[in-house]
Amino acid sequence: MRCLLLLAGCCGLCCAASLENLAHGFDGRVGACIESRTGSDCLKPDEPFALQSVMKFVVAAAVMDRVDHQQWSLDERIVVHREDLSLFVEPIAKLVTDRGFETTLGDLVRRAVVDSDSAAADILIAKLGGTVGVRAFLQRKGIAGVRVDRDEKHLQTEILGMAWRAEFVDPAALDRAIAAVPDARRTAAYRRYQADVRDTATPRGMSSFLFALAEGRLLSPASTARLMKVMTETVTFPDRLKAGVPAGWTFGHKTGTSGSWKGVTAATNDVGILAAPDGGHVAVVVFIGDCREPEPKRAALMANVARLAVASYR
C-alpha cells in the first residue's frame, strides 16, 4: 500500500485522490466515502457492495424509529427461545435455556450492533414485520443506495448454496449440512452472491445515511443519542477504522464481514461516525469487495481512511 502522500491538509479533489492512492494496487474492489458539512469525497460512490453485518445497524435504526413514532418501548420484555436463534455469530445463544432467555428490546438493539449478534438482528427484523419494515423506514427517510432484503439466517445459508431450515439453529446440524454441499454448488452460490444487488449499499448511500443520523435528521434527539452511544461500544474489529481514530475524537461504528471461498472474501466493511473535538461529525465508509488481500492489509487500509477523514476535517 502506498504511503499517504496527500494526507496532510487534504480537501476536495485532494481527498478523492488520496482515497484512490490508498486503493491503488489493492487486489479487491474498494469503495469509500468521507462526508461532513463541507461535502463528501468518495471512491466508487455509486457502486453496490455487500453489506453483511453492517445491515444490523440499519435494522437498529429502523427499530429506534418505531420507538419514536409507534410508541415501542426499549424496556419491552422479550423472551428469546431456541427456535428464535440464527447462525454463526450469536453470543446470545449461550444464554438461552430450555425456558428461553428474557431480555428487552433495547438489549437486543445493543447486541445486534455491539456484538454483531445475528440472532438479535433476526429477532428485531421479525418484530419489524420482516425486511419490508426496514425498507419502508429507509424509503420514508429518503435514503437511497441502501438495501436490506434478507435476514441473516436466510442470507448466510443462500451464500453457502443452501436454504434455511429450522434445525440449523443447532450449530452441529448446520455444520453437517454445510459439509454436504457439493463444491460446484457452493462455488456457484458464492458467485451469485458476489453479483447480487440485494443486501448491498453504495458508499454514497451509506455515508448519507450515517451523516443524516449524526445530524439528527433520522431519529428523535433521544433515539439519536442512544444509537450513537451504542455504536461507540462496538467490540468487533478494532483494527479497522477505529485504529485510525486519534485521541480526542469519538467514534461509533458497525463492521461487516463475509466468509471467504477459494481465496476470495466477498465483503470486508466498516462504517461509522467520527465526532470531532469541536462537536462536528464526519461519516466514514469503507467497503472492500471480492478481495484476495490478507485481513491485516484490509484492516490497515481502513485505518488509513479514518486518518484521512480526520485530516480532511474542517
Given this model, what pLDDT does residue 16 score? Answer: 65
Q: Are residues 120 and 233 both part of a single domain?
A: no
Q: Compute the Cα dihedral for 96, 98, 103, 108 and give only its sign.
A: positive
Of 3-7, 12-16, 233-237, 243-247, minimum mean pLDDT range: 3-7
Same domain, residue pair 187 and 120: yes
Buried b (16+ CB within 10 A) or exposed e, 8-28: eebeeebbbebbebbbeebeb
Residue 213 lies in a domain: yes
Residue 5 forms part of a structural domain:
no
Give the pLDDT of residue 227.
Answer: 98
pLDDT digit string, tens, across residues 114-159: 999 999 999 999 999 999 999 999 999 999 999 999 999 999 999 9
Only one residue has cell 419502508, namely: 136
Tell me which residue range forms the domain holding 155. 56-194
pLDDT one-digit tens code per residue, 40-59: 999 999 999 999 999 999 99
| Per-chain mean pLDDT for the chain | 94
Confidence at residue 91, expressed as pLDDT on a 0 to 100 scale: 98
Same domain for 180 and 62: yes
Mean pLDDT, residues 22-45: 95
CA angle at 140 for the pair 139 and 141, rounded to the nearest 5°: 90
Q: Which of 159, 194, 229 is the last residue of a domain?
A: 194
Residue 253, C-alpha cell as written in the block: 461504528
Task: Write out the three cell numbers for 120.
Answer: 438479535
CA separation for the pair 211, 103 (Å, rounded):
31
Q: Residue 4 domain-assigned?
A: no
Domain closes at, from 173, 194, 215: 194
Distant-in-sequence contacts of 6-15, Cβ < 8 A, 24+ apart: 7/307, 7/308, 7/311, 8/311, 9/311, 10/308, 10/311, 10/312, 11/38, 11/312, 11/314, 12/39, 12/41, 13/41, 15/41, 15/308, 15/312
Number of separate domains in the chain = 2
Q: What is the pLDDT of residue 17?
A: 75
216 inside domain:
yes
Q: Is 295 domain-assigned?
A: yes
Q: What's the confidence (pLDDT) of residue 8?
A: 39
Listed residues 194, 217, 238: the one ending a domain: 194
Q: Which three cell numbers stand for residue 72?
A: 415501542
The tens digit of pLDDT for each residue in 6-18 reads 343 454 445 667 8
Which pLDDT band holds residue 264 (cuts at 50, 70, 90)? very high
Rg over alpha carbons for the chain, rounded to the nearest Å, is: 19
137 part of a folded domain = yes
DSSP string, 102-120: EEEHHHHHHHHHHS--HHH
- Work out the average pLDDT over 260-289: 97
Task: For residues 119 and 73, give the distance between their C-alpha atoms in angstroms, rounded to a whole number.
Answer: 20
How far apart (Å, rounded) are the C-alpha atoms in residues 171 and 87?
7
User: What pLDDT, in 10s, does the model give residues 71-89?
Assistant: 899 999 999 999 999 999 9
Instruction: Report residue 214 as a C-alpha cell.
Output: 449524526
Spatial distance between the Cα atoms of 71 and 110, rounded to a whole number of angstroms: 19
What is the mean predicted confidence (pLDDT) over 68-73?
A: 93
Q: Are residues 213 and 254 located together in one domain of the fold? A: yes
CATH code: domain of residue 188 = 3.40.710.10
Tell me whether residue 7 is in a domain. Answer: no
Residue pair 202/145 in contact by the 8 Å Cβ criterion: yes
**Mean of the pLDDT values across residues 33-39?**
94
